[in-house]
Amino acid sequence: MTKLRKLSDSLDRFFLARSHNAILLICLALSLLIGVIDYRGSTGLLIVYLAPIALSAWYGGIRVATVISIYCAIAWFFAGQIAVSFATVNWLVLSSSFARLAIFLVLAQVISKLRESSRQQHELTQFIVHDLRSPISSAITGLLTLQQTASNLDELEQEMVSLALVSNQRALTLVNSMLDVAKLETGKMVVRLEPTSIAELVEDAFQQVALWANAEEIRLVSDVQTPNAVLDPDLTLRVLVNLLSNALKFSPPQSEVQVTVHTGFAGGVRFCVEDQGPGIPPEYVHTIFEPFGQVKGTKGGTGLGLTFCRLAIQTQGGKIWAESTLGKGTKMNFTLPSHDSKIRSTPKGDDDSIAEPQHQVRPAASFENRPASEDSVSQPL
């Protein structure tokens, strides 16, 4: 499944970067190649002719697919006619060619309609998710104001406000992940590399999940051995928040979640988010970063959080992987390259992406900093 997904992603990246004319030429060349093979072979290649038609209909639209369908029908006719003789028209081959042309045109129409329907569904989903963001942000702002200004709230009311803040912040993280996964997959996400304090980055991530950690009585522990690094602070912060949220979701009460940061290989920086949860079965370790990839039987979630993390790290030129032992917990690791990476920062004025508001929630609980107990190394995905 992972290999098929990678092949599909590669095809998407290749064809989506081409114009309709380029797609037409590519599919014409592919159809010509199939025609030559069909002529030299002893059996018909009806199924193979469908490949360029399907590609042209999906990526080029109905007009390109119609041209390719006619071309494939003509190529099939000539392959069959040459096999007999050009002295007389083989009416059986000719009628069969018209029948195949009809099949090709119907297939092109169906696939192009499916593509258009998929595109409209995707745009509608993005529109709805985008519009959800404003009321969620307003709710968070109102709850923060209530929490900071209302001194007459009793303990139960304060707990309800905190619970509402946690829920709204988790919803906002999900909304932003859904919006940004599509941008990252198509290469439209802007990367801004800048010198960043790693300690402050980890502290900001802790602050965003602190209410959730306090509610579950889970300690947040950090060991930052790398003071500064050149990276995209916004993307990396959101990756940390997603990984911390996952760790909190599966950690038992009164356990701890630890973030370790140190200098990795070739001068880069390596992050590790470790929990004491149930662990991940070995068969899922390599699939949890795929879209909607979830461990069977787990609670909640959409399966997009880790997909966002993978794409956000790969966009910065890094790698992300998981290490897990059943019954002992999970380590989510990612590395980012040093400042001499080939990734170039894009000026802020060129970005039309939606930035996530950073609501700094500072609970009474403090965060512990201490050395990590171990630092295992495994081969990244």
pLDDT in tens, 43-75: 556 678 888 999 999 888 899 999 999 988 887
Which amino acid does the sequence have at 301? G
Q: Give domain limits for the chain.
A: 2-120, 186-369
pLDDT, residue 377, reads 34
For 187: left if phi > 0, alpha if psi spans -120 to 50, otherwise beta; the answer is: left
pLDDT, residue 218, reads 92
pLDDT, residue 36, reads 78
User: Smallest Cα–Cα separation from 72: which of 40, 36, 42, 43?
Assistant: 36
DSSP 352: -
pLDDT, residue 303, reads 64
Q: In what order do the strands lie in the sheet with 368-369?
A: 319-325, 329-336, 269-274, 256-263, 219-224, 368-369
pLDDT, residue 360, reads 36
Q: What is the pLDDT along the chain (381 residues), one digit of tens a residue?
A: 456 666 777 787 788 778 889 999 999 998 888 877 777 765 556 678 888 999 999 888 899 999 999 988 887 777 666 655 555 556 676 787 788 889 889 999 999 899 888 877 777 766 777 777 788 888 888 888 887 877 777 778 887 888 788 788 778 877 777 777 767 766 667 788 999 999 999 999 998 888 888 888 899 999 999 888 999 998 899 899 989 988 998 899 989 999 999 987 667 899 999 999 888 888 888 788 877 666 665 655 556 788 888 888 988 889 999 998 888 899 999 999 975 544 444 433 334 333 333 333 333 333 454 443 333 333 344
pLDDT, residue 347, reads 38
Contacts of 68 (CB under 8 A, 6+ apart): 24, 27, 28, 31, 52, 53, 56, 108
CB burial class (10 A; 0-12, 13-18, 19+) of residue 99? exposed
Please state, in angstroms and as integers, the Cα–Cα distance from residue 369 to each residue in 133, 233, 258, 284, 363, following that order.
Answer: 34, 21, 9, 31, 17
Q: In angstroms, rounded to a whole number, what is the distance separating the alpha carbons of residues 140 and 190? A: 26
pLDDT, residue 169, reads 78
Contacts of 315 (CB under 8 A, 6+ apart): 184, 187, 189, 191, 235, 343
> What DSSP string describes 100-149?
HHHHHHHHHHHHHHHHHHHHHHHHHHHHHHHHHHHHHHHHHHHHHHHHHH
Diameter over CA atoms, the chain: 99
> What DSSP string describes 213-245?
HHHTT-EEEEEE---EEEE-HHHHHHHHHHHHH
Contacts of 51 (CB under 8 A, 6+ apart): 30, 34
Q: 186-369: which CATH architecture?
A: 2-Layer Sandwich (3.30)
pLDDT, residue 134, reads 81
